[in-house]
């Protein structure tokens, strides 16, 4: 195989109760990446369409992730990466994770798949660190493994794939303003009051249990975040109104997608998820901000191969 074309999907991290550890994979939005073997070793960025991103291999998250893989797995040939970037950087739906995970997934295939999808997270992490300045795999894990994932440890990368209740549908509204993860992390407090920590781990445990038992009511009660959301909500126009509109329309819960500015909701059934999207839109219609709405089933597959030669 000399060339591979893949779809690297967007994802929602944190899911309110699981800052830096919980995430799920989306279906309709993602980047198209083509990776081609080259005679000269190393990594180059060929073309990037859709967004303005660095082509210097030491500054682009896709090539930085591949360089990390090639430090461990020596290759006599190199790789050129072409990206059709559909996920806007700074959107809160895992733009850097899609690039980093997509690139290592494609290169791994061209190398004869020496690593499992789970093992690739460690290499993709180099890209995520470049983008956000922190080691967190809560977007990378669902992009590579599909579905919902829990990162028990971001240090040792102990990652668990979780089940998805069959009727769960996500709605995302993406106001087109850029919020860099590195900045929305910088405003967070480094300590958490015990009372809030107790509440959060209660909710996270309950959320995971609800995924296993298809308990939509419990899922709804668990989608709370008293630790991170109050700080980041200030950075997102009309966050409280959009969230309230989603919940009043029947969403199980709603919160900030990753580090924002996108806002996500989870609903039972496609019909409710579409209505939730319409309710979210009405909140943004009187603001002078462009936005996009996506309605998505939980993507159980994660990254997928489109073509290979
Ligand atoms: N867990 C990360 C954060 C996700 O909230 O900062 C953003 O990439």
Give yes or no for residue 118 CB within 6 A of ligand 1: no
**Given pLDDT bands bounded at 50, 70 and 90, which one contains residue 140?**
very high
Ligand 1 mean position, distance from CA 19 (Å): 7
Ligand 1 probe mutation, 11, 16, 132, most atoms within 8 A of CB: 132
Secondary-structure class of domain 168-297 per CATH: alpha beta
d(CA 193, CA 187): 17
**Given pLDDT bands bounded at 50, 70 and 90, which one contains residue 289?**
confident
Give yes or no for residue 164 CB within 6 A of ligand 1: no
Q: Where in the sequence numbering do the catalytic residues fall?
A: 128, 181
Ligand 1 mean position, distance from CA 258 (Å): 5
Give yes or no for residue 96 CB within 6 A of ligand 1: no
* pLDDT score at 287: 85
Give yes or no for residue 20 CB within 6 A of ligand 1: yes
* pLDDT score at 218: 98
**Structure tokens belonging to residue 204:** 């996270």
Ligand 1 mean position, distance from CA 79 (Å): 29
CB 84 within 8 A of CB 45: no
CA-256 nearest atom, ligand 1: 5
- Name the residue with tokens 């990378």: 140
Over residues 175-193, mean pLDDT? 94
Q: Percent of the chain, pLDDT > 70?
A: 100
* pLDDT score at 56: 96
- Quick one: 230 exposed, middle or buried, by C-beta within 10 A (0-12, 13-18, 19+)? exposed
Q: Does domain 3-163+299-308 have CATH number 3.30.230.10?
A: yes
* pLDDT score at 196: 97
Give yes or no for residue 225 CB within 6 A of ligand 1: no
Over residues 213-218, mean pLDDT? 98
Give yes or no for residue 13 CB within 6 A of ligand 1: yes
Ligand 1 mean position, distance from CA 306 (Å): 28
Over residues 9-22, mean pLDDT? 98
Three-state secondary structure string covering the chain: CCEEEEEEEEEEECCCCCCCCEEEEEEEEEEEEEEEEECCCEEEEEEEECCCCCCCCCCCHHHHHHHHHHHHCCCCCEEEEEEECCCCCCCCCCHHHHHHHHHHHHHHHHCCCCCCHHHHHHHHHHHHHHHHCCCCCCCHHHHHHCCEEEEEECCCCEEEEECCCCCEEEEEEEECCCCCHHHHHHCCCCCCCHHHHHHHHHHHHHHHHHHHHCCHHHHHHHCCCCCCHHHHHHHCCCHHHHHHHHHHCCCCEEEECCCCCCEEEEEECHHHHHHHHHHHHHHHHCCCCCEEEEEEECCCCCCEEEEEC
* pLDDT score at 104: 98
Residue 308's CB is within 10 A of a number of other CB atoms, namely 14
Give yes or no for residue 136 CB within 6 A of ligand 1: yes
Name the closest-CA residue to atom 3, ligand 1: 259
Ligand 1 probe mutation, 139, 227, 229, most atoms within 8 A of CB: 139
Give yes or no for residue 11 CB within 6 A of ligand 1: no
CA-131 nearest atom, ligand 1: 8
Using N-to-C axis directions, what is the helix angle for 270-285 and 239-248, rounded to 10°?
150
Q: 28, 8, 3, 27: which is closest to 102 by C-alpha?
A: 8
Q: Give the strands of the sheet with 291-297, arranged side by side.
A: 253-256, 263-268, 168-175, 291-297
Q: Percent of the chain, pLDDT > 90?
A: 97
Domain ranges of the chain: 3-163+299-308, 168-297
Rounded to the nearest 5 degrees, what angle is found at the Cα of 170, between the Cα atoms of 169 and 175? Answer: 155
Give yes or no for residue 232 CB within 6 A of ligand 1: no
Ligand 1 mean position, distance from CA 256 (Å): 10
Q: Answer whether 0.95 is exceeded by the pTM.
A: yes
């Amino acid at each position: 195989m000399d060339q591979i074309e893949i779809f690297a999907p967007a994802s929602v991290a944190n899911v309110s109760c699981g800052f830096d550890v919980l995430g799920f994979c989306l279906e309709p939005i993602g980047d198209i990446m083509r990776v081609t073997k080259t005679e000269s070793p190393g990594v180059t960025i060929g073309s990037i369409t859709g967004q303005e991103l660095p082509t210097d291999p030491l500054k682009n998250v896709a090539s930085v992730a591949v360089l990390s893989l090639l430090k461990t797995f020596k290759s006599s040939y190199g790789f050129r990466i072409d990206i059709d970037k559909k996920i806007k950087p700074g959107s809160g739906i895992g733009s850097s994770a899609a690039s980093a995970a997509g690139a290592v997934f494609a290169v791994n295939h061209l190398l004869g798949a020496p690593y499992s999808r789970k093992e690739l997270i460690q290499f993709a992490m180099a890209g995520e660190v470049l983008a956000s300045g922190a080691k967190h795999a809560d977007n990378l894990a669902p992009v590579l493994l599909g579905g919902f994932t829990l990162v028990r440890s971001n240090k040792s990368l102990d990652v668990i794939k979780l089940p998805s209740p069959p009727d769960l549908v996500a709605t995302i509204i993406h106001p087109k303003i850029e919020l860099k993860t590195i900045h929305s992390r910088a405003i967070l407090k480094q300590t958490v009051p015990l009372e809030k920590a107790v509440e959060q781990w209660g909710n996270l445990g309950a959320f995971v249990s609800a995924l296993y038992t298809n308990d939509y009511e419990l899922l709804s009660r668990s989608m709370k975040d008293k630790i991170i959301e109050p700080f980041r909500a200030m950075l997102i126009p009309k966050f409280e109104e959009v969230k309230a509109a989603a919940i009043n329309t029947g969403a199980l819960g709603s919160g900030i997608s990753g580090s924002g500015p996108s806002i996500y909701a989870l609903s039972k059934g496609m019909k409710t998820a579409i209505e939730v999207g319409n309710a979210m839109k009405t909140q943004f219609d009187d603001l002078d901000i462009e936005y996009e709405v996506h309605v998505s089933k939980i993507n159980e597959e994660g990254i997928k191969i489109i073509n290979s030669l």
